Structure 1
């Protein structure tokens, strides 16, 4: 489980004295704990890894947006710190699909659902997320689906 890998990384970074990695791992664990608290009283998620991946993908998106803003604002030291956190978070995610594999998956789903126009984008995105959600950057997938259906 990804959660166990993150906890193991926390312990190893504490032992090795790697403070930047430790800080990033603690952020990941805090976000996972927040999601666990949100889900209290509701049915537990069917797949814990999927929930953890969703949390980390959101964190990655936030980091990328922050890096862009810091670079535009001339705050390279803050952008570098965010980049370091981003790299730590990405270490725990499953291998991401490349653009060619994403396009192939989109074409398969389009054929199965009979999607022909941008009006069908919601169905294609829902199927894509359910099948490949952990392996995809959904913002990139959204752009590719739009191109494919246009």
Structure 2
């Protein structure tokens, strides 16, 4: 045990003493703002509307929202997403119907109302915009 501890301590000391790790520049998404300053307000971005929706990047990815949700409201008492995506309205609104998985309890039993685990749509589903990348991203989804 003492030998393992000694090896770990020596490894950490070597890592900290390495000039390449010690002098690496640490950058923040806050830019040049000090941590004590208020962040700058986000710049407004235009949502991307895509008739028919977006392709998914991986098999189980939740569908992305192909329209603006700026005026939509999701609270404990109101979910405006359901005006278009409910069983009653989806055909008339030409919108995808909420998936059957949204009506399953955590025990796998089918419920009549949407599960509270799936009620807050924007936990999984996100609108898209033409915003600049905050960090470099080279991700390529499966085709």
TM-score clears 0.5 = no
Structure number with bigger Rg? 2
> Under a length normalisation based on structure 2, what TM-score does the superposition of the two structures give?
0.22
> Under a length normalisation based on structure 1, what TM-score does the superposition of the two structures give?
0.21
